Amino acid sequence: MRTAGEFTGADAAWIQAMVHRLEARGVGAREVNDAYGYVQDVCRRVRTGPKAQFGDPVAFADRLEFPLDPVQTSPGHALARALGATRVHVLGILMVFLMVMSCLASFLSVAAMARGQDHITVTVGAVLGPLGMLAVVLLLTQLPPHLLYRHTLLTGLTLVLVMVALCVFAVLASAPLLLVGWQLVAGLSLVVLVLYTVVFTWSGIKEYRNDPDWATTLWSYLPVGWLLMLGPWATHFLGLW
């Protein structure tokens, strides 16, 4: 059986409490090792202690079911880890949000050009709606993970309802906020695409040393971004719309 290993202080005490509880449940040494490896891998990836990540060690040990599923963390973890960020969720979320909004801006630029318009009308809902969605997702990352694990269904349902409400608001709040030339919007979208490509390529190269699988995951985002960003332009110049 593994000891607290790389954990020290309060984290080591947390590990020991988890191990003792698992042994009290009659869990075998192999499964205890698996549980330790699970905790170690998650804490190493998200750069936090086991208590902050999983809550009470006894309650956590009671929730564990064996065999354990392979540990999966988001590409945002890998991206942020490669860039040296400490708030691993936040950076990945911001990068994805920026790319999604840039793809939308690219589509709107092509639509404005196709209609012979010189500008894009930015509404109140188009600004506050997406920002509200971003704020909700970022708020979820600040909640203790063990609460999310215990109330997965409730959290998911609440998130869906909030997102639907914000989508409705984004559509209904159609008051014009400002007019922006589609050329400027298209140029900014191109800048974001270049930044996106550089960051994901570099972070994938750096992450490859530690985890080739996550590096491949990061690189897989590149063609998706290119397709979403450049696809509307390609279809327009091909005369498809």
Provide long-range contacts, Cβ within 8 A and 24+ apart, for 78-84: 78/203, 78/207, 78/211, 78/214, 78/215, 78/217, 78/218, 79/199, 79/200, 79/203, 79/207, 79/218, 81/45, 81/47, 81/207, 81/210, 82/202, 82/203, 82/204, 82/206, 82/207, 82/218, 83/199, 83/203
Q: Is the pLDDT of residue 182 over 80?
A: yes
Indicate the pLDDT class of residue 155, thresholds 50, 70 and 90: confident
The mean per-residue pLDDT over the stretch 122-137 comes to 90
Q: Where are the domains of the chain?
A: 9-63, 75-237
Confidence of residue 48 (pLDDT cuts 50, 70, 90): confident
How high is the pLDDT of residue 198?
Answer: 86
Average pLDDT of span 181-210: 84
Q: What is the mean pLDDT of residues 11-34?
A: 88
* Confidence at residue 47, expressed as pLDDT on a 0 to 100 scale: 72
Rounded to two decimals, the pTM is: 0.61
- What's the pLDDT tens digit per position in 62-115? 888 777 654 444 555 555 555 555 455 577 778 788 888 888 899 999 999 988
**Averaged pLDDT score across all residues of the chain:** 80
Q: What percent of the chain has pLDDT over 90?
A: 19
Q: What is the pLDDT of residue 179?
A: 92
Q: Identify the pLDDT of residue 71.
A: 41
